[in-house]
Amino acid sequence: MTKTKFNGLLGLFLIIVFCGCSVLKSGKAQNSFVKGADIGWLQQMEETGYKFYDDNGVEQDCFKILKDHGINTIRLRTWVNPSDDKASGHNSKEQTVAMAVRAQKWGMRVMINFHYSDSWADPSKQKKPAAWEGHDFPQLLNDVYDYTHDVMSDLKKAGVTPEWVQVGNETPGGMIYPEGSTDNWPQLAQLINKGYDAIKAVSPKSKVILHIDRGNDNARFRKWFDNAEANGAKYDIIGLSYYPFWLPGKPDYTLSIDDLGNNMNDLVARYGKDVMVVEVGGEDTKPQNTYDMLVAVQQKVKAVPGGKGLGVIYWEPQGARSWSRYPLSAWGEDGRPTKAMDAFLVE
């Protein structure tokens, strides 16, 4: 073999090895355990002058601080026509797209959360967007499809392909009231499917999540997802919230953590879907307890059989009480992350 041919073959071999390693790394990144943060308040916090500091007290971009604490995924909510209110506004399509682009530049995976409202949608309220008021049900179906398709298309144009997309946020009673209430499951399923179809039309690889609260309550999940299945609702992943603080009596997580694990195991066995804790939070004044809770939640998700427990996302960890008045962030009065955030560094 000539030296020239040998060098050529060696070069080809190195290219193949390099490409193979890149593919493996990419695959590992895509399939790695989700350690996430929902940071819908971040843009507003920055605009109002809030400063973020790392563990050493050095001012840093919040994304860097989160990444240094093990966060690899960003969850972003999007509202239809939000106000400019500090706590209950923003998160427009344009702002969501800008934040998604920024997250991707930091090497983060992206989850988009459609609330289908102009502001908060959660178990206590699912108010339809003002622009959709007075529309009959066929038009509401079109509204959901067109709006979802529009946001997903703008993300695609910006170079962002969300790995996951939620259709509705904490929807134990349904969404887009009153038409999408669980009092009328056939209609709710149609609304869900319009969101699902619009997402897949633009981004076929994005996984669709349906999400309800009280992740420790198996009966709640069985009733909801039995109805979803019976009415043909389409989805890929079951999303759970887990907030011990909001449970009756504000009990410590140790009283409900096993129920969370058992519920996830049952959901996987019963419906054959992956599960993810898409919202979690603990008291900012008890960082050690919140740290312990986060470690325990991650362990329960990792223990789900068949690798079908995908990960854990903290809701607004950077949303310091001094700015938001929210008691369940993982940020201190000094503008630094509390010990709770170190839980995402635990393997």
Q: Which of 118, 119, 116 is nearest to 87 (CA)?
A: 119
- Active-site residue (options: 163, 170, 179, 347): 170
d(CA 343, CA 302): 14
Report whether 251 contacts 216 (CB < 8 A).
no
Burial class (CB in 10 A: 0-12, 13-18, 19+), 320: buried
End-to-end CA distance of the chain: 49
Dihedral sign, CA of 99, 104, 109, 111?
positive
Q: Which of 236, 242, 235, 237 is nearest to 220 (CA)?
A: 242
Q: Which of 320, 321, 303 is nearest to 312 (CA)?
A: 303
Tell me how far apart the 2 most distant CA atoms of the chain are, in Å. 80
51: left (phi over 0), alpha (psi -120 to 50) or beta: beta
d(CA 346, CA 298): 9
Report whether 323 contacts 47 (CB < 8 A).
no
229 is catalytic: no
How far does Cα 316 stand from its chain's mean position? 11
170 is catalytic: yes
- Active-site residue (options: 94, 279, 283, 333): 279
Q: Which residues are catalytic?
A: 170, 279
